[in-house]
Structure 1
Amino acid sequence: MKLREQMPELTGATAWLNGEVAKTDLLGEKPTLIHFWSISCYLCKESMPQINIFRDEYSEKLNFMAVHMPRSEADLNDDKIKATAEELGITQPIFVDGEHKLTEAFENEYVPAYYVFDKTGQLRHYQAGGSGIKLLEKRVNRVLDDQANPAEKE
């Protein structure tokens, strides 16, 4: 995805964990962070505690959604995905992308990967990799500031 592109529709999940959301649920009031992860990804597991802290600190200002992107046949076991999500403390809705439908819509190739959308659904920031939570937080804060003061941007 390129910056300023619209958030894709959230369709094609093989399962949802922790509740289901539609694109319309994520637009309008708050920006949204969508993060891709996989049960076989060491960096995802390593960075998840930081993402959980970030989620909890920003829960009033930001929507959160996770996408489980399988990287192999072994990553397709829904029970294993659910158990790993519980173990990692992922409480936000999880789109289980067993057929890579959303992965393809996002043109995503990596886990972990983070997409920040403003409240209108425009992509404002993308990054991949296990480090960089500070950069992610900085970009989220920029989007929040832009949303709070739209006249200053024009």
Structure 2
Amino acid sequence: MRLRQEMPDLSGATATINGRRTKEELIGEEPVLIHFWSTSCGTCKKVMPKIHQIRDHYADYLNVVSVHMPRSESDKDIDHVKATANEYHITEPIFVDNDLTLTNAFKIKQVPAYFVFDKEGKLRHTQTGGNGLRMLTKRIQRVLSQR
């Protein structure tokens, strides 16, 4: 995705955990962080506490949702996704993307991946990997300052 591009539609998930949020519900009031992860991704699990810090610190100002992207057939087991979400305290809505609909819409090649959208739903920052979460936090702060 390119900067300033509109958030893709969030339909197409094969299941949801912790509630369902639509694109229309997410944009308009607050900026949005969309976090892609996978049960088989060690880096995703390692950085999850930092994502939770961001989610909890900005709870009143930032909508956070996650998308589980399977990297293998075993990643498609919904019970395993639920167990991992519980183990790693993922309390935000999770879109389970077993058909890769959202993965393809966001053009994801690897996880973890992060997308920050402003309150109008325009992409303001994207990054992948477990490093650089300080930059992610700075970009979130920048978008929040423009609310």
Regarding TM over 0.5, the answer is: yes
Q: Deviations over 1:26-76 (max 9, x none)?
A: 011100000000000000000001111111001101000000000010100
Give the corresponding residue for 2:78.
Answer: 78
Instruction: Specify which structure has the higher proportion of helix.
Output: 1
Give the corresponding residue for 2:117.
Answer: 117
Question: Considering only aligned residues, what root-mean-square deviation do their CA atoms show, in Å?
Answer: 0.6
In 2, distance between residues paired with 1:105 and 1:136?
21
In 1, distance between residues paired with 2:145 and 2:58?
13
Q: SS at the partner of 1:71?
A: coil
Shift of 1:2: 0.6
TM-score (norm 2): 0.98
Give the corresponding residue for 2:61.
Answer: 61
Shift of 1:3: 0.5
Larger Rg: 1
- State, as a whole percentage, how many aligned pairs show the same letter: 56
Number of aligned positions between the proteins: 147
Q: SS at the partner of 1:13?
A: coil
In 2, distance between residues paired with 1:92 and 1:30?
15
Alignment of 1:31-70 (within 5 A): 31-70=31-70
Q: SS at the partner of 1:81?
A: helix
Shift of 1:128: 0.4
Q: Deviations over 1:86-112 (max 9, x none)?
A: 000000000000000001011111100
In 1, distance between residues paired with 2:38 and 2:66?
10
Structure 1 runs (4+) greater than 2 angstroms displaced: none
TM-score (norm 1): 0.94
